[in-house]
């Protein structure tokens, strides 16, 4: 870990942002891709095959964003249910596109044994502007808590509460990118009035588990399936990934409920966060999407 050597262009070092700094940050964000074209249109094309429901809408000054959840049509209340979430961090492209690819190419193969609930893009404004935060400069993946400060999280939690399903497993699809060090961690430090420490970006795929319920065999099964598609990240010289000690090759863990992470959203026995590295010279966007799909399939195969 290394201390920040450049000053983030917004705010005063050592002083947390107020509303003026947050407004300055928001004004600097621009739309770079289309949620409607790259996500909603793909869901509309699958409408006949799945139950696709709008579970809410985000209303920001930057625009209104309808939110969608996908479930299998042959829902069997006797079957266990698997939750898949993507796009909690909108900039993590394969989290969204991998979820869509899983729905389109694989989900129907497993509905005799499982029900599925898939949220392919929780943070569409973040997807369009390639951002980790929402427009309020709030990180959704630290906001799965009661009275959440993030609309994105509150709407998902409300939907699942109304659905009333006990989930067996949850796979949350993420990426670790070079921009974590170049943009998002420096921005977080500036927002919070802290000194930034960058982490070593692992070259390859890894998982984040719940340190308070660490199902090693479950994670190992996912990593074995992913390894058929892309390489697994090696630990650094300190036997760590992103500053956390490895529990086994390709796996680190945190107290996810305490941190408000997405995989604390349910009481699922088996829960994991994927981390793909799209900036690797050894990977392509297609490979990253397929790695996300492989992670979900690895989860399914372990539970079968």
**DSSP state for residue 73 in the 8-state scheme:** S
DSSP 129-166: HT-SS-TTS--GGG--STT-S-HHHHHHHHHHHHHTPP
Give the SS3 label for residue 60: strand
Tens place of pLDDT per residue across the chain (304 aa):
444 456 799 999 999 999 999 999 999 999 999 999 999 999 999 999 999 999 999 999 989 999 999 999 999 999 999 999 999 999 999 999 999 999 999 999 999 999 999 999 999 999 999 999 999 999 999 999 999 999 999 999 999 999 999 999 999 999 999 999 999 999 999 999 999 888 889 999 999 999 999 999 999 999 999 999 999 999 999 999 999 999 999 999 999 999 999 999 999 999 999 999 999 999 999 999 999 999 999 999 999 9
Give the model's pLDDT for residue 5.
Answer: 55
Give the model's pLDDT for residue 7.
Answer: 77
Model's pTM, two decimal places?
0.97
Say which residues have a Cβ less than 8 Å from residue 153's Cβ, sequence separation at least 6: 122, 140, 143, 144, 145, 262
How far is residue 208's CA from residue 257's CA, in Å, rounded to a whole number? 13
How far is residue 223's CA from residue 148's CA, in Å, rounded to a whole number? 32
């Amino acid at each position: 870990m290394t201390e920040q050597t450049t000053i983030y262009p917004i705010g005063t070092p050592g002083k947390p942002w107020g509303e003026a700094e947050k407004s300055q940050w928001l004004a600097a964000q621009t739309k770079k891709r289309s949620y409607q074209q790259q996500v909603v249109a793909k869901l509309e094309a699958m409408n006949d095959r799945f139950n696709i429901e709008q579970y809410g809408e985000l209303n920001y000054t930057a625009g209104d964003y309808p939110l969608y959840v996908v479930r299998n049509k042959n829902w069997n209340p006797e079957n266990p249910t698997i939750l898949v979430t993507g796009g909690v961090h909108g900039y993590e492209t394969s989290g969204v596109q991998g979820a869509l690819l899983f729905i389109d190419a694989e989900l129907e193969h497993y509905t005799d044994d499982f029900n599925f609930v898939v949220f392919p893009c929780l943070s569409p404004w973040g997807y369009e502007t390639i951002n980790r935060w929402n427009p309020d400069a709030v990180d959704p993946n630290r906001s799965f808590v009661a009275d959440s400060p993030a609309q994105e999280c509150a709407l998902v939690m409300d939907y699942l509460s109304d659905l009333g399903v006990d989930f067996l497993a949850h796979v949350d699809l993420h990426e670790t990118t070079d921009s974590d060090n170049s943009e998002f961690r420096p921005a977080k430090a500036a927002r919070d009035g802290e000194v930034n420490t960058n982490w070593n970006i692992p070259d390859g795929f890894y998982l984040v588990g719940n340190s308070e319920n660490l199902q090693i065999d479950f994670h190992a099964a996912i990593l074995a399936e992913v390894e058929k598609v892309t390489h697994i990240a090696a630990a650094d010289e300190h036997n760590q990934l992103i500053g956390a000690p490895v529990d086994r090759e390709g796996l680190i863990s945190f107290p996810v409920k305490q941190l408000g992470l997405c995989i604390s959203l349910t009481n699922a026995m088996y829960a994991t966060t994927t981390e793909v590295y799209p900036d690797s010279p050894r990977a392509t966007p297609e490979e990253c999407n397929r790695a996300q799909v492989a992670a979900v399939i690895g989860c399914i195969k372990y539970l079968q």
